[in-house]
Amino acid sequence: MEVQDREFLRRWDGLGSRDASSRTEAMENICQEVMRKVEAIGPLPASVPSPPASGSPSNSELNGILAHLLMLSQRCPFEDVRERCICLLQTVQILQVSKVDTRTQSIFEDAFAALGRLDNVSLVMGFHPQYLDSFLRTQHYLLQMDGPLSLHYRHYICIMAAARHQCSYLVNLHVNDFLQVGGDPKWLNGLGEAPQKLQQLGELNKILAHRPWLLTKEHMKCLLKAEEHSWSLAELIHAVVLLTHYHSLASFTFGCGIMAEIHCDGGHTFRPPSLSQYCMCDIANGNGHSNHHDDPFGNQEVCGEVEVLMERMKQLQEGRDDEEASQEEMATRFEREKTESMLVVTAEDEECVPSRDISRHFEDPTYGYQDFSRSGEHVPTLRVQDYSWEDHGFSLVNRLYPDVGQMLDEKFQMAYNLTYNTMATHKDVDTSMLRRAIWNYIHCMFGIRYDDYDYGEINQLLDRSFKIYIKTMVCSPEKTTKRMYESFWRQFQHSEKVHVNLLLMEARMQAELLYALRAITRYMT
C-alpha cells in the first residue's frame, strides 16, 4: 500500500503500543472506520458481476485499509491484534505470525513497536535471532536516532543505495518512510530534483556499489570541500555507512528472494517470480514448505555433498598441522584466487535494465562490476595489515559518529562467529574453517588480502556453483536467480542458506567500508 497522507499512517500507531488497552482502543477506532466505509459503498446490486472500479476514492481507500489489515493479520507479533484483524476481515468478507521462541517474539515486538510494521527482511532474519537483534538495533540507530543527517536525508540516501542495485523492495520501503518523515515528494521525481548536496553523492554511490577499490581521497575532497553544499566529515561518515548498509542489504534481499509485504503492490495480488516457489518469509514464518530441499531424482551426488565437504575440511585441518606454506606461496595463491574470481560468470540471463521508477534515483545505470571484469583490468590489492576495520576503520567511525563503530563491529562479529555447530543433519561440527573461507573469498573479490590466510583452501571448500551464487549476490544481486540459489548446498536447510547470506551481506559491507574509510583517512592526513 502506498502512503497517501500522513494522517492515514497515524491511525495505526496505537497498534504498536505495548499496552493492551491502547491496542484495543486503536483497533476499535479502526473497526469503526472500516465499517463506515463499507456502509458508504453499500451492497452490490445482483446484476453487477464485479466490484466498483478500484479507482473511486472511497473504494480505493478502503482497499488500502483492508490490505493493511491483511498484513497485520499475518505479520503483527501481538496475538490480540492479529485476532481482531482476522475477525474484521471475515466480517467484510475477506477471506498468520506463527509461534516463535520467546527471544524472537520479543525482537519482533520491539521492531513492530518502533516501525509499525514487521517487514519480510526481519522475518527471514528471524531464523537467527541473535543476529537479527544486532541488525535491528544498528539499523534503528542509523535511521531514527540522533545523528549528523536529517531523517529525510537518511531515507533518501537509502533510496539511492537500493536503487543502484534495482532493489524495488527497499526503494519502495524508504519512499514511504521518506514521505512519512516530511520529505519533499518532488525529490522522488529523480535525483536531478533532489538538493545539489545529495546529487553530489551520486558518484560515491556508484563507485562504492560496484568498484570501491577505485575510491580516492579526491572523491572525498569533492564532497568535503565543495564551494557550496559541502558535507561535514560526520555527515559523510553517516552517508557512507548508510550507502554500504543498503548496498549489502540489497544483496541479502535478492539472495533470499524477498518480495513485497502482503499489503504492498504485488504482495497480495499477482506475485512476480522469486528465487523459489515460495517466499522465504513464509518459510521463516512457519507457513512454507519443509526446511530441506527436495531431491526428486535421488541424486547420489547431492546426497553425499555434505559428507564430501566435511571430509575436505578434515583433510585441510590435518594439512595445516603438517606443514605451513611460505609467505611467497601464500601471496601467489591469493593472486591466483583473485584472478580466478574475476572470471566467474555472475549470471546466465540477459542484462537487467532498470525501470524508470528505479533508475531515476541514480546516474550511469551501465556502470557495474561485470563491465569492469570484462575489460581485463585487475583489482588492486589492499593488505589488511595496512588498513583494517579493527585497527583503523572502527576508530574513525566511532570518533565521527559515536557508538556506530561499536554497533557495526558487533554486527560483523555476530555474522562471522554465528554457529550452531551443525551442517545439514550433522551435529557437533566446527564450521569456522568454512565460514572463514566464505568471508575471505568475498574480500578477495574486492582485492582485500589477509596475510595469514591460505587462499588455496577456498577452491577446496567452495565449488563453482557456490562461487557463482556468491559473486552474483555480492556484485550483481539483481541478477540472482532461483536456479543459482538451489544449485549450491542442496542438502542444507533454508536457515543455513540464510546464514550464508548474512555472511555475504556483512563481508560485502565491511569491504566497501574499508575502501571508503581508507579514502577519508588519506584525505584527513
Residues 6+ apart with CB under 8 A from 392: 517, 518, 521
Cα gap 520→511, rounded to integer Å: 15
Instruction: With H, G, I as helix, E, B as strand and everything else as coil, classify residue 193.
Output: helix
Task: Measure the N-to-C terminal CA separation of the chain; round to a whole number of Å.
Answer: 49
Q: Which residue has the cell 513485497?
A: 260
| 29-50 residues labelled b (16+ CB within 10 A) or e (exposed) | ebbeebeebbeeeeeeeeeeee
What the block records as the C-alpha cell of 110 is: 520491539
HEC secondary structure over 218-272: HHHHHHHCCCCCCCCHHHHHHHHHHHHHHHHHHHHHHHCCCCCCCCCCCCCCCCC
Q: Is 427 helix (H, G, I), strand (E, B) or coil?
A: strand
Buried b (16+ CB within 10 A) or exposed e, 322-343: eeeeeeeebbebbeebbeebbe
Q: How far apart are CA 52 and CA 61, in angstroms?
A: 13
Phi and psi, residue 427, nearest 5°: -115, 170
Which residue out of 167, 279, 281, 475 is catalytically annotated?
167
Q: Quick check: helix, strand or coil at residue 352? A: coil
Q: Is 167 a catalytic residue?
A: yes
382 φ, ψ (degrees, to nearest 5) = -110, 115
Gap between the Cα atoms of 112 and 371, Å rounded: 41
Closest by CA position to 253, among listed 107, 125, 357: 125
Amino acid at 157: I
E strand or H helix at 523? helix 494-524
What residues are labeled active site? 167
